Amino acid sequence: MSLLKSITTFGGFTLISRFTGFARDMVIANFLGAGIISDAFFVSFKLPNLFRSLFAEGAFTAAFVPMLSGKLVSEGKDKAVLFAARAISVLAFLLLIFVILMEFLMPWVVAVLAPGFAGDTGKLELATNLCRITFPFLLFISIVSFQSGILNSLNKFAAPACTPIILNLTVIASAFLLGNIGSTRAHGLACGITLAGILEIFWLRFFIRRQGINIIPQPHIFSLMKLEDIKTLFRRIAPGVLGAGVYQINMVVDTILVSLVGTGAISWLYYANRLQQLPLGVVGAAISVALLPILSKALKSNNKTEAERTQDKAVEYGALLSIPAATALIVLAHPTINLLFERGRFTSIDSIKTAWAVAAYSVGLPAYVLVKALTPNFFARGDTKTPVKYSIVVLLTNLICSLILMHFLGHIGIAIATSIAAYVSLYQYLHGLKKRQHWQMSKMLKIKIIKIIGCSIFMGAILYLLLYIFTLSNLNWLTYNLLYKTMIYGTLCILGIASFLIIAKLTKTLNITDMLKLLKRKG
């Protein structure tokens, strides 16, 4: 399977996943709004996903897939399948024990994760009950990660890429079908999360069986743990858990701190972060995935000039896509949130509170995207330790800035702290690459980025002026029907994009020919 086809498959399903995720969040906002119930629900949603990122994804996949692929080549399909069955059996056993333990300890776990709930017994009890419903999702999604690893080793990417879509659609369905099974609608949504994990297992099992593979659970778990390949697997997992852990601890710190701000703050930050994740997840991830193999090939062939040129282009395109996106999000934050979420229990006050957080997060968006464009330069050289060290500095920066700013700006201060930490991270990568003489920003690239910033400011000014004119002539246009609002919002977006493209063309900032050449080179 070609690199371009793999990227297209993942990129396409990632985009679909993001849009179905927005649909999911719109449904949640409609039914739960931003208050006590939604805050408790989002804590219950984040808890299994914290451990999912630590154990199930990233670390396990990075260790498991290379070992399984090696066994497929050196030992044959039967031995590889046996290794996979043993690995899944050990993982499932350990996680089952962990899930059971966490179910008993859940009141204390929630009190640590959301200390702001401690003063409200009802809120703490609701969050605890919801977490107990959602936490088994960790076990199921971990099994899904191993199933995905098996299919990826066989160059089957589409089915695993669909699993987030299953989660989003199941949660949406549960909001309508399971809304009355508990004391709140959040109980039905929580059940939908766990049910999605089970559905994903059966989904991938179907495609694994189509490859002629039958994963049979293995008994005698303690004997399996003594096998050399199983021990090797878990030894390789440890560094990945450490790397993922730094980022996840950062997210936990944000949740802990924002729970102290007040009712609704967790929800406002959740919705704002979700909006920021669309350009970050699609643009940043696409650049990172496409860049790593190109850089690796250039470095292995000792073609330093090609490596530097490729890195320049990655940074340029990252800036070209992220800086205008961040500018547009800042100017159109309130209309965007209003259009997406303001209905049902999600009020106009919630829109304003969330919009301020969107603007604060968006300031750091270009830094996050550029870091994703620079990180492969370390990975391509086999350096996985340096990014972890940088992440620790980012964690401390985020914590210190959040503690200071939240006292003055509440949840907005925490979002600002996240953006500050993003630029600290960007500085580390730029300085680290230059210090090691791996890469430094050329004069031409600096000029190009300055031009992109200038074009984005021009676009932002045009958008702000147009928004002012629309608001002046239609003072309450955000209270009108959805079709009318969508037409105005769409017009603003089209005019904003047009203004950026025109000024970028006139200043020779945008070169479509070069972009097409890079895309052809990826294939």
Structure-token pair, residue 351:
């829109």
Sequential pLDDT tens for the chain (523 residues): 443 344 455 556 667 777 788 788 888 888 888 788 888 888 888 888 777 766 655 556 656 766 777 777 777 778 888 888 888 888 889 889 999 999 999 998 888 888 878 777 788 889 899 999 999 998 898 888 888 878 877 767 678 878 888 999 999 999 888 877 878 888 999 999 999 999 999 999 898 888 888 888 788 888 888 888 888 887 767 655 555 555 566 667 777 787 777 777 888 888 888 777 776 666 655 565 555 556 556 666 666 777 677 777 778 878 888 889 899 989 988 888 888 888 777 888 888 898 999 999 999 888 888 887 787 777 666 666 777 788 888 888 988 998 899 888 888 898 899 889 889 989 998 888 888 877 788 888 888 889 889 989 999 999 888 888 877 766 677 777 778 778 888 888 888 888 888 888 888 777 655 545 544 544 4
Query: What whole-number distance in Å separates Cα of residue 405 and Cα of residue 403?
Result: 6
Structure-token pair, residue 350:
């919630």
Which 3-state string (H, E, C) describes 47-99?
HHHHHHHHHHCCHHHHHHHHHHHHHHHHCCHHHHHHHHHHHHHHHHHHHHHHH
Residue 416 half-sphere exposure, CB side, CA atoms within 13 Å?
15
Query: What whole-number distance in Å separates Cα of residue 316 and Cα of residue 333?
Result: 25
Query: What whole-number distance in Å separates Cα of residue 245 and Cα of residue 110?
Result: 19
Question: CA Rg, the chain, in Å?
Answer: 24
Return the pLDDT at 7.
Answer: 47
Query: What whole-number distance in Å separates Cα of residue 372 and Cα of residue 394?
Result: 14
Give CA torsion, residues 10, 254, 114, 259, to 10 deg: -120
Amino acid in position 147: Q
Structure-token pair, residue 262:
């007040």
Query: What whole-number distance in Å separates Cα of residue 114 and Cα of residue 110?
Result: 6
Return the pLDDT at 208.
Answer: 87
> Are the CB atoms for 146 and 91 separated by under 8 Å?
yes
How is residue 475 annotated by DSSP? T
Those residues with Cβ within 8 angstroms of residue 506's Cβ, 6 or more apart along the chain or in another chain: none
> Are the CB atoms for 178 and 184 separated by under 8 Å?
no
Answer left, alpha or beta for residue 33, where phi above 0 means left and psi between -120 and 50 means alpha. left
> Are the CB atoms for 146 and 60 separated by under 8 Å?
yes
- Going by C-alpha positions, the residue among 127, 130, 204 that lies closest to residue 164 is 204
Return the pLDDT at 522.
Answer: 42
Structure-token pair, residue 387:
């990014």
- For residue 359, CA distances in Å to 236, 327, 363, 489 come to 39, 9, 7, 17
Structure-token pair, residue 429:
């990568």
Neighbours of 81 (CB within 10 A): 21
Helical segments of 211-264, H only: 221-225, 228-259
Whole-model pTM over 0.85: no
- Indicate the SS3 state at residue 436: coil
Return the pLDDT at 133.
Answer: 94
Query: What whole-number distance in Å separates Cα of residue 67 and Cα of residue 84?
Result: 10
- In 166-196, which positions are buried (b, 16+ CB within 10 angstroms) versus exposed (e)? bbbbbbbebbeebeeebebbbbbbbbbbbbb
Helices (H) and strands (E) in the chain, counts: 22, 0
Query: What whole-number distance in Å separates Cα of residue 14 and Cα of residue 11?
Result: 5
> Are the CB atoms for 415 and 357 separated by under 8 Å?
yes
Query: What whole-number distance in Å separates Cα of residue 87 and Cα of residue 91?
Result: 6
The domain segmentation of the chain, as residue ranges, is 35-254
Distance of CA 332 to the CA centre of its chain: 22
> Looking at 133-252, which runs of residues are DSSP E strands?
none
Helical segments of 380-410, H only: 385-409
